[in-house]
């Protein structure tokens, strides 16, 4: 073989090595970008899920507070209606109950 053929082969090998090295660097860069993008998307999904969870939790809490206020109001009304029963009516009912028990 002549020196020119050998030098052309070496030159082609060097170019091929450069191409392979560039391809490897590009591959690494693509993988790093994909990993970073996937991590960001994962974090976004987690944050959105936490936001939805917190909104539902707050909504449930507010609903429970509202329902407890309604129950408290009903209990107060029942308490007032019991307080407003006429003593004479209560005594009359007690007398009738005692009378039935005794008879």
Mean pLDDT of 15-32: 97
- Locate all alpha helices (DSSP H) within the chain, ordered by sequence: 3-83, 87-102
Query: Has residue 87 got a pLDDT over 80?
Result: no
Question: Per-residue b/e over 30-46, b at no fewer than 16 CB within 10 Å?
Answer: eeeeeeeeeeeeeeeee
What pTM, to 2 d.p., does this model score?
0.55
DSSP code for 86: -
The tens digit of pLDDT for each residue in 46-61 reads: 999 999 999 999 999 9
């Amino acid at each position: 073989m002549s020196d020119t053929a050998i030098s052309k082969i070496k030159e082609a090998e060097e170019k091929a090595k450069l191409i392979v090295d560039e391809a490897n660097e590009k591959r690494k860069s693509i993988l790093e970008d994909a990993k970073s993008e996937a991590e960001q998307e994962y974090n976004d999904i987690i944050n959105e899920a936490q936001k939805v969870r917190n909104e539902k939790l707050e909504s449930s809490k507010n609903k429970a507070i509202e329902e407890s206020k309604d129950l408290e109001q009903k209990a107060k009304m029942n308490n007032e209606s019991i307080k407003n029963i006429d003593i004479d009516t209560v005594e009359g009912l007690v007398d009738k109950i005692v009378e039935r028990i005794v008879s």
